[in-house]
A and B are shown apart, each in its own frame.
Chain A
Amino acid sequence: MAKLFWIAVALIGAFAVGGIALHRGETINAMWIVVAAVCVYAIGYRFYSAWVAAKVLCVDANRATPAIRLNNGRDFVPTHRWIVFGHHFAAIAGPGPLIGPTLAAQFGYLPGTLWILVGAVLGGCVQDMTILFLSTRRNGRSLGQMARDELGPIGGYAAIIGTLVIMVILIAVLGLVVVNAMKHSPWATSTVFATIPIAVLVGLYLRNIRPGRVLEGSVIGVALLLAAVVGGGLLNEHETLRAYFDLDGKALAAFVIGYGFIAAVLPVWLLLAPRDYLSTFLKLGTVLLLAFAVILMRPDLKMPAVTQFIDGTGPIFGGSLFPFVFITVACGAISGFHALVSSGTTPKLIGNETDVRLIGYGSMMLESCVAIMAMIAATLLDPGVYFAINSAPGVVGATAEAAVTTISSWGFPVTVEQMHALAAEMGESTLFARTGGAPSLAVGMASIFSSAFGQSMLALWYHFAIMFEAVFILTTLDAGTRVGRFMVQDVLGHFSKRLGETSSYPSILLSSGLVVAGWGYFLYIGVVDPNGGINILWPLFGIANQLLAGIALCVATGILIKQGQMRYAWVTGVPLLWLAIITTTATWEKIVSSDPRIGFLASADSLAGKLASGALSPEQAAVAPQLIFNQRLDAVLAIVLTLILWIVIADTLRVARRVKLGLPVLPTSEAPATPAEARA
Chain B
Amino acid sequence: MTSVSDAVVLPSAEPSLLRRPRATTGFWSWFTTVDHKKIGILYGATALLFLCLGGIEALLIRTQLAQPDGTVLTAAQYNIAFTMHGTTMVFLMGMPLAVAFGNYLVPLQIGARDVAFPRINMLGYWIFLFGGIFIYSSIFLGGAPNGGWFGYTPLTSSPISAGVLPGRGADFWAVGIVMLGIGSVTSALNFIVTILNCRAPGMTLMRMPIFTWMMLVTAFLTLFAMPPVTAALTMVFFDRNFGTTFFDAVKGADPLLYQHLFWLFGHPEVYILILPGMGIVSEVLPVFSRKPIFGYQVVVFSGIAIGFLGWGVWAHHMFATGLGPAALTAFGLSTMLIAIPTGVKIFNWLGTVWGGSVRFSAAMLFCLGFIAQFTIGGLSGVLHAVVPSDTQQTDTYFVIAHFHYVLFGGLLFAMVGGIFYWFPKMTGRLMDEKLGKWTFWTMVLGFNLTFFPMHIVGLEGMPRRTYRYGSGLGWDVPNMIETVGAYVLSIAVLLFVVNLIVSFRRGQPSGDDPWDARTLEWTTPNPVPEYNFAEVPVVASRDEAWHRKYTEDAEGHLVRLPRGGADSGTAVATEPVSGKGAPPAEQGGGGGGGHGIHMPSPSYYPMILGAGILAFAYAAIYHSLLLCTVGAIVVLFAVYAWMLEPGTEPA
Partners in one complex: no
Interface, chain B (partner A; CB < 8 A):
none
